Amino acid sequence: MILPAILYVLALVGFPFCLSVYLALSDAKIASNTYGFVGLENIRSALESPTFRKSLGNTLIFTIVSQALVLVLGKILATCLSKDFVGKSFFRFLILLPWVAPISLGTIGWKWMLDSLYSPVNWVLQALHIVGKDTWPMWFGERDLAMASVIAVHVWRLLPFSTVIILAGLTSIPREVNEAAEVDGAGFWSREIHIVLPLLRPILTVAGLFGIIFAFTDMTVIYVLTRGGPAQATQVLSSLAFFTGILGGDLAGGAAISLFLFPVLVVVAIVMLQIARRAEVT
Amino acid sequence: MAKAGSARKIAGRVGLYATVSAFAALLAFPFYWMLIATFKTDRDLYDLKNNPLIFNDHLTLANLKLLFEKTLYLTWVWNTVIVGVLVVLITLALALPAGYALARLTGKWGERLGIGIFLTYLVPSTLLFIPMSRIVATLGLQDTLWALVVVYPSFTIPFCVWLLMGFFKSIPKDIEEAAMVDGCSRARAIVQIIMPISLAGILSAVIFAFTLTIQEFTYALTFITSSGEQTVGVGVPTNLVRGDVYFWGSLMAACLITSIPVAILYNLFLDRFISGFTVGAIK
Instruction: Please state the ipTM of this predicted complex.
Output: 0.86
pLDDT, position A228: 82
Residue B255 Cα, gap to closest chain A Cα (Å): 5
Q: What is the pLDDT of residue B91?
A: 93
Residue B171 burial (CB < 10 Å; 0-12/13-18/19+)?
middle
* B111: chain A residues, CB-CB within 8 Å: 276, 280
Residue A150 reports pLDDT greater than 60: yes
Kindly state the average pLDDT of the residues A264-280: 80
Distance (Å) of CA A125 to CA A133, B21, B271? 10, 19, 37
3-state secondary structure B192-250: HHHHHHCHHHHHHHHHHHHHHHHHCCHHHHHHCCCHHHCCHHHHHHHHCEECCEECHHH
State the pLDDT at residue A77. Answer: 93
Nearest to B207 by CA among B251, B160, B173: B160
Contact A16 B254 (CB under 8 A): no
pLDDT tens digits along B89-146: 999 999 998 988 888 876 677 777 888 888 888 888 888 888 888 889 888 888 899 9
With CB atoms and an 8 Å threshold, state whether B117 touches A6: yes
Mean pLDDT of B214-227: 88
Q: Per the CB < 8 Å rule, is A118 touching B46?
A: yes
CB A200 within 8 A of CB A169: yes
Q: Which residues from chain B sit within 8 angstroms of residue A159, using beta carbons? A: 27
Q: How far, in Å, CA of A77 to CA of A136, rounded?
A: 31
Spatial separation of the C-alpha atoms in residues B81 and B149, rounded to whole Å: 11
Distance (Å, rounded) from C-alpha A104 to C-alpha A97? 13
Q: Residues B29, A101: contact at Cβ < 8 Å?
A: no
Please name the member of A96, A246, A273 whose beta carbon is closest to the beta carbon of B270: A96
Minimal CA–CA distance to A223: which of A231, A213, A234? A234
β-pair partners for A37: A26
Q: What are phi and psi of A31, to 5 degrees?
A: -80, -25
User: From the list A113, A124, A168, which residue is nearest B274 (CB)?
Assistant: A168
Least CB–CB distance from A16: residue in B45, B135, B258? B135
Better pLDDT: A221 or B183: A221
Nearest to A65 by CA among A211, A222, A271: A211
Query: Which range marks the domain in which residue A267 is found?
Result: 49-239+261-281
Q: Which residues of chain A lie closer than 8 angstroms to B102, CB-CB? A: 2
Please compute Rg for chain A using Cα positions.
23
pLDDT at B200: 80
Q: How far is CA B196 from CA A45, A110, B94, B164, B192, in A?
A: 57, 44, 18, 14, 7
Q: From CA B15, how far away is CA A212, in angstroms rounded? A: 31
Instruction: Provide the number of structural domains found in chain A.
Output: 1
Cβ-contact A222, A138 below 8 angstroms: no
User: Which residues on chain B are in Cβ contact (under 8 Å) with A8?
Assistant: 94, 153-154, 157
Mean pLDDT across B234-256: 81
CA within 13 Å, CB half, B195: 10
**CB-based contacts of B15, cutoff 8 Å, min separation 6:** none
Chain length of chain A: 282
Kindly determine whether residue B108 and residue A280, on different chains, have CB atoms separated by under 8 Å: yes
**Interchain proximity A159–B150, CB inside 8 Å:** no
Average pLDDT over residues A179-185: 84
Question: How far is it between the farthest Cα atoms of chain A?
Answer: 74
pLDDT of residue B268: 80
Chain A nearest C-alpha distance from B127 (Å): 5
Average pLDDT in the B40-58 region? 80
In the prediction, which pLDDT does A153 show?
A: 94
Question: Which amino acid appears at position A148 of this protein?
Answer: A
CA dihedral in degrees (A87, A92, A76, A193; nearest 10)? Answer: 90
Q: Which stretch, A20-24, A150-154, A178-182, B198-202, has highest mean pLDDT?
A: A150-154
What CATH number is given for B80-229+269-277 in this structure?
Answer: 1.10.3720.10
When CB atoms are compared, the residue of A93, A113, A269 closest to B267 is A93
Residue range B31-60: average pLDDT? Answer: 83
Cβ-based contacts under 8 A for chains A and B = 284
As a whole number of angstroms, the distance between CA A222 and CA B11 comes to 41
Q: What mean pLDDT comes out for the span A75-90?
A: 88
Write the CATH number for A108: 1.10.3720.10
**Chain A residue with the nearest C-alpha to that of B234:** A104
CA distance B113 to chain A (A): 10
Tell me what percent of the residues of chain A surpass a pLDDT of 90.
Answer: 17
- pLDDT for res A280: 62
Contact assignment for B20 to A103 by CB distance below 8 Å: no
- Helices A50-81 and A197-217 cross at an angle (nearest 10°) of 140
Q: pLDDT averaged over chain A? A: 86
Instruction: Please report whether residue A137 resides in a domain.
Output: yes
Under 8 Å CB-to-CB from A160, ≥6 apart: which residues?
A95, A96, A97, A98, A99, A100, B27
Kindly list the residues from chain B whose CB atom is less than 8 angstroms away from the CB atom of residue A279: 279-281, 283
* CB contacts, 8 Å: B48 with chain A: 117-118
What whole-number distance in Å separates Cα of residue B223 and Cα of residue B141?
9
Residue B82 confidence (pLDDT) above 50: yes
- The mean per-residue pLDDT over the stretch B52-81 comes to 86
CA angle A85, A87, A89 (to 5 degrees): 100
Per the CB < 8 Å rule, is A202 touching B131? Answer: no
Which site among A97, A239, A243, A271 would you substitute to test the B interface, given the most B Cβ atoms closer than 10 Å to its Cβ?
Answer: A97
